[in-house]
Amino acid sequence: MKAAVLNSPGHLAVQDIPLPEVMADEVMCEVAACGICGSDLRYLAGENPWAKHTLGYEKPNPPDMLLGHEVSGYVELDGRRMRAGMLAFVTCGRCPECLAGRSQLCAHTKHLGHGAGWQGRAWDPGGMAQFMPVWRDNVYELPDCISFDEATFLDGLGVAVHAVRRAGVDAGSRVVILGGGPIGLLLMQVALAEGVSAALALDVYDAALECARELGADVALDGRELTPDEVATEAARWGEGERISAIFDTSGDRDLQQAALGLLSPGGTLMLMAGAADGLQLSTRVMAGERVVTTSSNNLREDFERGIELIADGRVMVAPMITHVFDLTDAVEAFDVARRKHETGAIKVIMHP
């Protein structure tokens, strides 16, 4: 089969490789669509974002790694060929985190497209290929109203559902989204679906700002025109007299994170989706009133299932985020378009095998 293989940092190539092995608890997925996630770009650059955000440290990536965890396709299950979306990981079920109900933090996770937990296989499987093994219990039949391309958002949507749930957003309050990429736009829509009254989104290129407005942002601020302190001033003016129960940062920018701290209402949460920036300062003033600064990692099975419901009933829209579609044979170009999003206007880039 053809696959986009990350041979080493910075070197992605489309090549012919053997069909993957399928173990007893797995089925073969004929991949129909696979999205490029921000984490895929970081793997290409030589980082390991899964290890960094789940385990708390950098870990070397395996050679000859297949990326792609935002996957949909056809699966033959119980004698029936079905359109399916895939939960892209399994956890061990035995470690202290799993036993405590925090399986999203399992250090023994096997994760498609992340090179995690696949020791002993010739190729680390992922969705940027014509075929991919997937665990039988992780196959979800897609409702007719969800296309293959839309189903590639289910992985990121599960992450957003989990983060919004952890942040404990208050119905009738307001939220701020710092970074209007796919995860930021999903966070915004999930928060609105959970009953927040309004959302402010910030980004630094036109495509993301326009999409944020289309998907429900009350205000979309252009970060190219404002310093972080000016962003905070504008957001404070927008939220004056209203409760800002959560701020979600996907930028990883220290100055933005620092400015955001002063916006939270008592009991509010600053959710650092890209981790805390080095040098972030916490003071008594900004932490008083039970304000919380935290991170969110991965998601639970029920978060993924909730995402299917949210797309199916129209409370989360993902089609407006799809800006580019490529054939798998053009994977190198697809990654380049995704990487240069400020120039290309890319929000979500999808590949079709």
16-64 tens-digit pLDDT: 999 998 999 999 999 999 999 999 999 999 888 877 777 777 777 888 8
Q: What is the pLDDT of residue 211?
A: 98
Closest CA to 201 of 225, 224, 184, 183: 184
Q: What is the pLDDT of residue 120?
A: 73
Is the Cβ–Cβ distance between 133 and 77 less than 8 Å? no
Q: What does the alpha-carbon distance between residue 229 and residue 221 come to, in Å, rounded to a whole number?
A: 13
Domain boundaries, the chain: 2-153+318-352, 160-295
| Total residue count of the chain as it appears in this document | 353
Is the Cβ–Cβ distance between 221 and 200 less than 8 Å? yes
If one counts every other C-beta atom within 10 angstroms of the C-beta of residue 56, the result is: 11
- What is each CA distance from 31 to 45, 73, 255, 350, in whole angstroms? 25, 4, 41, 12
Q: Which of helix, strand or coil describes residue 69? A: coil
- What do you get for the CA distance between the two ends of the chain, in Å? 10
Closest CA to 223 of 244, 202, 192: 202
CATH for 2-153+318-352 is: 3.90.180.10
Q: What is the pLDDT of residue 319?
A: 98
Which architecture, in CATH terms, is 160-295? 3-Layer(aba) Sandwich (3.40)
Q: What is the pLDDT of residue 183?
A: 97
171-221 tens-digit pLDDT: 999 999 999 999 999 999 999 999 999 999 999 999 999 999 999 999 999
Mean pLDDT by 10 residues, the chain (353 residues): 94 95 94 96 88 75 90 95 97 96 93 79 90 96 98 98 97 97 98 98 98 98 96 96 97 96 96 94 92 95 98 98 98 98 98 96
